Homo-oligomer: A and B are copies of this chain.
């Protein structure tokens, strides 16, 4: 029996915390197709961006670590030199993919920034 109401942190807040960061969602999305190496993730992220900002290793590293600690992705370090590290979605991470898919789908339909404003006049 729960305490009437788990007023702690609504799932939404927890979700926001978990995906806080500019790249986390996109990393998860990239990883849905299979394991990827550090550099591949980085390149993939760059491709999607408006071309301006380079993703600094510090940031990417951080996001990856956070995702790992959240239990969404798993880090697999292949022994030694030259360094090779793969990141892949855990079960939890995979279960999260549909949610991201929903977000993406909604975004593609209602969220074109410019087109969005048009419909905003509703």
Task: State the majority secondary structure of interface residues on A.
Answer: helix
Distance in angstroms between the alpha carbons of A99 and B70 in the assembled complex: 21
Q: Does A56 contact B (CB under 8 A)?
A: no
- CB pair B122 A110 closer than 8 Å: no
* A91 cross-chain contacts in B, Cβ below 8 A: 119, 122
A49 CB contacts on chain B under 8 angstroms: 7
B106 and A99 form a contact (CB under 8 A): yes
User: If A102-B99, A121-B69 touch, does A50 touch B14 (CB 8 Å cutoff)?
Assistant: no
A6 CB to nearest chain B CB (Å): 7
Q: Is A38 an interface residue (CB 8 A)?
A: no
Cβ contact within 8 Å between B13 and A104: no
